[in-house]
A and B are shown apart, each in its own frame.
Chain A
Amino acid sequence: MVIGLTKKIRRTAFLLLIGLTGAAVVFILNIILGSVNIPLSEIFHAFSASDDKTVYHKIITDIRLPRACAALIGGSALAVSGILLQVFFSNPIVEPYVLGISSGASLFTGMVILIGFRLGIVALGNTGMFLGAFIGAMAVSAIVVIASQNVKSITTLLIIGMMFGYVCSAAISIMTAFADRERLASFVIWTMGSFSGFSWQQTILMYLVISPVILLSFLLSKPLNIMLLGEEYARSMGIAIKPFRAALITVSGILCAAVTAFAGPISFVGLAVPHIVRLIFGTQDNRIIIPASCLYGAIMSGICDLASRTLLPPYELPLGAMTSVIGAPILVFLLLNKRGKDGRF
């Protein structure tokens, strides 16, 4: 046995524990803090006495709690989605946002919000919009999957995905030209991404979709690890590459779609968290990186959501801006100070 191994395991366990604690702390802070100052005693009270429907109680259980839960799983989903795509494309700057999966969701949402797209005579309500965004994201993923069965080079595939992203963005910007101001404003707000206004129903649905898929992605960690050596080696070591490609993009597409459908396109979490986690943990072993990214992704989106609500109350700052403002400096700091000075990731 390798001598350094046990030390490494201990370090990994410690860092995972920190992640778990961190996620819990962020979760609690998200419930305690907000634009309305709620005394701690009231918070405990809200949890203990369920029959007493005070305003505070309502804010806690109907607004902050589902929102905090949604932010956690949303961050996890985006981070895992990012890992899968980065390994798959052997490209460190890939994330669902870059690949056009988010744009697919935006396109459909744009159609609903901007030009009042109807299915028959039925106007699409909120649920319809979520469904639409989900379908949009999955449609772009599906195109990338189909292309992946016929395209040899992964770079070509990446370009195809990006081009679809551009086409979607172009279609959106054309639609904005025709849209009236009010609709445009509400679409712009949607594109900024936010976990606000999550109902319990939505949050539960999100958990139902995302949790099994994250579990599934964890099951892909062995072939994901081997993919680090490149596709040819992966094939030579017995990985059936086409089904694996399809599984990878589907899983990553579902994760991204589920978040985007509910919370709008949230950039940067999928890009930055996997890198941050790799650098902190000092490994690329996806058996560690995937669960770790779940925790740290949850922390990151939790912190960003908290910041967007509490920095300048009562205004809510755009979540997409928070993720970049908070994530980018951390990533740059780690890159400059840690081991990743050379190589790809």
Chain B
Amino acid sequence: MKKHILSTHELDVGYGKKTVVGNISLDIERGRIVCLIGPNGAGKSTILHTLAGLIKPLRGNIKLDGNDINKIKRSEIAKKISLVLSGSEMPNLTTVYELVSFGRAPYTGYFGKLSKKDHEIVKEALLRVGAYELRDRFCSELSDGEKQKVMIARAIVQQPELFILDEPTSHLDISHKIEVMRILTALTVENGLTVLMSLHDIDLALKYCDDIIAVKNGQITAYGPPEQVIKNGDINKLFDVNNAEFIETLGSLEIKGPEKADVFIVGCGDSVYNLARTLTRNGVGVSCGIMHETDVDAIICSITCSYVAKAPSYTEFTSEILSSAKKEMESCAVVIDSGFVRNNATSFNSLLIEHADKIKKPVLSVSDFQNNDALLQSILTLLRRENK
């Protein structure tokens, strides 16, 4: 048994004469979850189909457990690689149990008769994905989440060393996404299987995968553990994201707000970001501060807000930051008190509120309003008056 379950060397994949992704050299280590990410049409599926042996490579070779995949019999490949494709239609009038037992095909005899051991393997796989109670249902009657679990059970029953899945989480709700990822993680940890899949859910990819393969413009642009290959800003470049930014720290997308600030929110910690989201999505530009740069507020507001007064973590706020914040506040029409906790640590924010009173800026306090929407209405009224 080789350390690498699958290796490719200068592999070109594509259809006919058209290369979709070129020069792929990968060494997939056993027991890892490896994830292909990249924009639609980048060729993730083509790579997976080629690695599964469904499409012939245009150039280069693929080694499965050290042997050239072209020289292995299809029935032998079937015992090493199992496949879960995206959006496959389920046959009608076929029960879950029947469908899952199809996975035993590489092992059963001429008529596909299941032995007692085969039945045990099928049962175990159904239990494992939590679909045992579905066993007598017809596949065509299942929900998308149930279908995916059943297809994974079918793949498990094939007892492969390598799992190849194309978009296993698409069309699933959050809990089913997590469920699918949990099942796959357990397979790698408990059974030493290797999982290779494509994912559109970047946050899941960053959190569940041991290795990330980024694909763009016909090549592999990054390959390695997520923390090493995905730096802040990489995802935005990979997907050409506009008007929004992917925050790698949180694994989520944040929408950019207007570039000119109308409102200054005084706050820190986690008191600002919800209000900032409400205001910016209604077209009100926001500045905010003063906070430490690892505050959730700072992480989110650095994208939603046009200006954030912030200091490095575990450092004292300086008078430079304060005066910069004051200057920004002066250019805004309205100041909002986010209701931050008043203590020594937030004394600079109290100073900002005092400054707002001094320069006669209208100060609205979040605690005076029932909800963010009510606050928004007051702000909009003030801004309208200001414009006149």
Contacts and interface: CB of A to CB of B under 8 A. Distances in A.
Interface stretch (B34-42, B100-108, B178-186): B100-108
A239 B88 contact: no
Contacts of A6: none
Contact of B94 (A230, A235, A283): A283
A279 B105 CA distance: 25
A238 interface: yes
Given A237-B158, A240-B74, A343-B140, A278 B112 contact: no
Interface string B55-98: 00000000000000000001111110111010011111111011
Contact of A287 (B79, B88, B97, B112): B112
B135 A228 contact: no
B141 interface: yes
Given A229-B102, A236-B54, A222 B112 contact: yes
A345 B92 contact: yes
Contacts of A283: 93-95, 98
B105 A237 contact: yes
A238 B74 contact: yes
A340 interface: yes
Contacts of B135: 2
B231 to A, nearest CB: 36
A4 interface: yes
Given A236-B54, A239-B74, A222 B89 contact: no
Contact of B83 (A4, A236, A340, A345): A236
Contacts of A282: 93
Contact of A230 (B53, B88, B103, B111): B88
A344 B94 CA distance: 11
A343 B105 CA distance: 24
A222 B105 contact: yes
Given A240-B74, A342-B141, A221 B91 contact: no
B111 A232 contact: no
A1 B54 contact: no
A43 B54 CA distance: 61
A129 B213 CA distance: 64
B110 A285 contact: no
Given A229-B99, A237-B105, A287-B111, A340 B74 contact: no
A240 B105 CA distance: 13
Contacts of B49: 232
User: Which size bracket describes the interface of A in this complex?
Assistant: 20 to 34
Contacts of A239: 74, 105
A80 B70 CA distance: 35
B310 to A, nearest CB: 52
A310 interface: no
B159 to A, nearest CB: 12
Contact of B93 (A237, A238, A339): A339
A2 B54 CA distance: 33
B88 A229 contact: yes
A233 interface: yes
User: Could you say which of B94, B103, B105 has the most chain A C-beta atoms within 10 Å of its C-beta?
Assistant: B105
Contact of B136 (A4, A233, A236, A344): A4
B111 A238 contact: no
A2 B112 CA distance: 17
Given A2-B97, A221-B111, A222-B105, A342 B83 contact: no
A286 B108 CA distance: 16
B156 interface: no
Given A238-B77, A287-B112, A340 B136 contact: no
Given A221-B111, A225-B102, A343-B92, 9 more contacts: A2-B97, A222-B110, A222-B111, A233-B83, A236-B81, A339-B92, A340-B92, A342-B141, A343-B91
19 contacts: A2-B119, A222-B105, A222-B108, A222-B112, A225-B102, A229-B91, A232-B49, A232-B83, A233-B88, A236-B53, A237-B78, A238-B106, A240-B74, A282-B93, A284-B92, A287-B111, A340-B93, A343-B91, A343-B93
Shortest beta-carbon contacts, A-B, top 7: A343-B92, A238-B78, A238-B75, A343-B140, A228-B91, A222-B112, A236-B83
